[in-house]
Amino acid sequence: MRGDTLLLGIGNLLWADDGFGVRALAALHQAYRFPASVRLIDGGTQGLYLLPCVEAARRLLVFDAIDCGLAPGTLRVLRDGAIDLSLGAGKLSPHQSGFVEVLAHAALAGRAPEQTVLIGVQPAQLGDFGGSLSEPVRARLPDALALALAVLAGWGVPGRARATAPRTALLAPSLEIGAYEAGRPSENDACRAGDVRFLARRSAALPRDSD
């Protein structure tokens, strides 16, 4: 027997706004509880590894960063066939091929969800390794959650506000947005691999051959 509802957050927390999907799902889990028929999964960048989960779901709601060339922070809600058409039209998402392949494989097997909704945000910054959500994207998290709650209520699985924090967090403590941002070095001290500042310091620290 197929499950009922799957909530999926897609993205890479280490690449700034690319982590929107996971951040949105984590925020939803932190603030709301759902019936036992609703399953929440941090899909990260797993791609086709998510196929069994998608095939087992009757209804699917996905959060992701999608590049539609709109103003940063713009939210879009795509449903069912519109997701396939939009994903195939251009560079919609950093995870475009993986997401399309998951849906395509599920459809070919005759096990695609009966209903699929994608809630996407236009990213402002994707190239900042180790970065957190940009201000325009972070500001839209409450709106993204409101859209998701409306969809879920329409599906008959409404979210209920939590009185206390969930017993099980969606993310590891070090990846929760507050801890993640607090633990990130300043821009001047970040010195990431490949950063010219890192390479310059590394070169200065290496022993030099004597003549």
pLDDT digits (tens, 9 = 90+) for 42-80: 887 777 788 889 889 999 999 988 888 888 998 999 888
Distance CA 17, CA 23 (A): 9
Residue by residue, DSSP assigns 125-155 as ----BTB---HHHHTTHHHHHHHHHHHHHHT
Question: Residue 207 in 3-state DSSP?
Answer: coil
pLDDT digits (tens, 9 = 90+) for 13-50: 888 888 999 999 999 999 999 999 999 998 877 777 88
Q: Per-residue pLDDT for 87 more than 70?
A: no
Q: Tell me what the mean pLDDT of segment 174-198 comes to.
A: 66
Give the distance, in angstroms, between the CA of residue 157 and the centroid of all CA atoms in the same chain: 21
Distance CA 206, CA 170 (A): 42
Asked whether 176 and 183 are in contact (CB, 8 A), the reply is no
Beta strands in the chain (DSSP E): 5-10, 32-33, 38-44, 59-65, 75-79, 115-121, 160-161
Buried b (16+ CB within 10 A) or exposed e, 81-96: eebbebbeeeebbbbb
Domains of the chain, start order: 5-171 (3.40.50.1450)
Buried b (16+ CB within 10 A) or exposed e, 106-118: beeeeebbebbbb
pTM of the complete model: 0.79
Q: Per-residue pLDDT for 121 more than 80?
A: yes
